[in-house]
Each structure stands twice: as C-alpha cells, then as structure tokens.
Chains A and B, each alone.
Chain A
Amino acid sequence: KAGVTQTPRYLIKTRGQQVTLSCSPISGHRSVSWYQQTPGQGLQFLFEYFSETQRNKGNFPGRFSGRQFSNSRSEMNVSTLELGDSALYLCASSLRTSGTLTDTQYFGPGTRLTVL
C-alpha cells in the first residue's frame, strides 16, 4: 500500500506570495492532518480534515487554510507569505475509525517551504 505523498517536496517563494501544498493520504484513510515543523517551534498542529470537513484547528492565523476533496486528498494554502512561514509542512493521514486521533497517524515526507 502506498504511503502518504506530498507535493511538491521543495518550494521557494517570496514574501507576500501565496502557496498551495498537496497531500494524498493512504488509500482508505479519510482523515488528513497538517503540521508545521520548524527548529524553533517544533511540530505544531495546523488543522485536520475528515470527510471534507475541517474537524479540528490549531492556533494559526487565518492566512493558513485548507480543504479536502471527496477522494480525501487535501490541500493547504498559505496566503501573504511571511519569512516566518519557512518550515517543513507535514501531512498525516489516519483511518480515524475510533473517532479520535488515537488512530495511528501516518506522516508524509513533508514539503520544505522557503520564503525569501
């Protein structure tokens, strides 16, 4: 079974631009969560989508948004990029059969975003 895939793997943008990242979950997984990983702040939860609906949200500004499609693929958008948005953006998928995030989350390799 193929793992979680994320595209693109690397991205360079300039301040003020917007960016869209894509995540394809493991087949059959309906939950997709997004995380930001930086050396200073570590791993921080952005949001989770389940069956095309945002189910949980972290403490990030509204510039960070996402959506999920009927095939469970998810996209994350960051508008008006700032230097501090440079990070590794990870997505994780899970079955969520238990109804909670205690179901194993499988992470993708991430998209490395650099904002200049």
Chain B
Amino acid sequence: QQQVKQSPQSLIVQKGGISIINCAYENTAFDYFPWYQQFPGKGPALLIAIRPDVSEKKEGRFTISFNKSAKQFSLHIMDSQPGDSATYFCAALIPNFGNEKLTFGTGTRLTIIP
C-alpha cells in the first residue's frame, strides 16, 4: 500500500530552469516530510525537510512548499544545474514510538540538460 505518491517519474529541465517534483499523501498522521537526493552508486542524502506547521521552507536553491489541506508537498529547485541531475525521493514520517518508519515516494529521476 503506497501511502506517498510522487510525480513525475522522470523530469528533464534545461539548465537555469525550475524543477518541480510533487508528492501527495493520505495519512494525516504524517508530520515530518523530508526530501532525499540520490546519485548513482550512492545512498540517499537528506536535502531539506519540513513540518506541517509551516507552508514553505527554503534552503539555498531548494524550496519545499507544503499544502496541509490538500495533503500535498512539493520540491522546487531554482536555477537548476547539471549537478542537480539525480533521483529525488520525498518521504513522510509518523513519529509513533514502536511503529515509526519513513515511507518513501517512488522517486523522480531528474536530468538537467545544458
């Protein structure tokens, strides 16, 4: 049962453009939403994370937008660079002791072309 739906599956963006990846969830008990970046041959690395009490969080060129009522959140990469080409995963967490686990989206393969 997939609880976090991620789209698109793949995305091609020109250098300097804005990359947008979307995720939607169903379980309102989720209260922590991280994004991970994974390069080939490497494990995922935390990029940025948000709690549902804020609608937006920005770190450098990366911004998370969060819409609690729509149960959606998205990652925006401004001024996308070839080095941003990677697979991105959204995730969600229910901080429930004994039953706490990160649930991941299916990933988006981002390619930035010159």
B101 lies within 8 A of A58 (CB): yes
**B45: Cβ under 8 A from any A Cβ:** yes
Q: How large is the interface on A (under 10, 10 to 19, 20 to 34, 35 or more residues)?
A: 20 to 34
Q: How large is the interface on B (under 10, 10 to 19, 20 to 34, 35 or more residues)?
A: 20 to 34
Contact of A108 (CB < 8 Å), options: B43, B98, B105? B43
Query: B32, B46, B100, B103 — which one has the most chain A CB atoms within 10 A of its CB?
Result: B100
Q: Is the interface of B mostly helix, strand, loop or mixed?
A: loop
Instruction: Mark out the residues of chain B between 19 and 65 whose CB falls within 8 Å of any chain A CB in the assembled complex.
Output: 32, 41-46, 49
Could you say which residues of chain B place their CB within 8 Å of the CB of A107? 42-45
Contact of B43 (CB < 8 Å), options: A100, A101, A110? A110
The chain B residue with its CB closest to the CB of A56 is B100
CA distance A55 to B99 in the complex (A): 8
**B93: Cβ under 8 A from any A Cβ:** yes
**B113: Cβ under 8 A from any A Cβ:** no
Distance in Å from the Cβ of B30 to the closest Cβ of chain A? 12
Q: Is the interface of A mostly helix, strand, loop or mixed?
A: strand
CA distance A108 to B45 in the complex (A): 9
A42 lies within 8 A of B43 (CB): no
Distance in Å from the Cβ of B1 to the closest Cβ of chain A? 9
Contact of B32 (CB < 8 Å), options: A48, A90, A102? A102
Distance in Å from the Cβ of B24 to the closest Cβ of chain A? 15
Given contacts A4-B43, A110-B43, contact A43 B89 (CB under 8 A): yes
Query: Apart from A45-B103, A107-B45, what 7 extra A-B contacts exist at CB < 8 Å?
Result: A43-B102, A55-B98, A92-B43, A104-B46, A107-B44, A109-B42, A110-B43
